[in-house]
Amino acid sequence: MKHLWINRQGNNELLIFFNGGGMDARPFGHLAADDLDVLMFYDYRDLCLPELKLEYTRINVVAWSFGVWAYAACGLELPCSRVIAFGGTLRPIDAQEGIDPAVFMSTVDNWDEAGRTKFYRRICGGAAGFQTFKLPARSVESQVEELKVIGLAAMGTEAETRYTRAFVGEQDRIFAVDAQLNSWSKRGVKTVIVPEAHYMFGHCHHWKELLFHED
The yes-or-no verdict on residue 42 having pLDDT over 90 is yes
- Beta-strand pair 37-42/2-7: antiparallel
Q: What angle do CA 63, 207, 146 make, to 5 degrees?
A: 35
The pLDDT value given to residue 215: 45
What's the whole-model pTM score? 0.96
Say whether 188 sits in a helix, a strand or coil: coil
pLDDT tens figures, 43-93: 999 999 999 999 999 999 999 999 999 999 998 989 999 999 999 999 999
Q: How far apart are CA 111 and CA 176, in angstroms?
A: 20
Which domains, and CATH codes, for the chain? 2-212 (3.40.50.1820)
- Residue 191 and residue 168 in contact, taking contact as beta carbons nearer than 8 Å: yes
- Laid out side by side, the sheet with 37-42 consists of 2-7, 37-42, 13-18, 58-64, 82-86, 165-169, 191-194
For residues 96 and 86, give the distance between their C-alpha atoms in angstroms, rounded to a whole number.
Answer: 18
- Count of all residues that appear for the chain in the document: 215
- Dump pLDDT digits (tens) for 84-107: 999 999 999 999 999 999 999 999
pLDDT tens string 129-155:
999 999 999 999 999 999 999 999 998
Q: What is the pLDDT of residues 173-203, one digit of tens each?
A: 999 999 999 999 999 999 999 999 999 999 9
Q: What is the pLDDT of residue 213?
A: 63
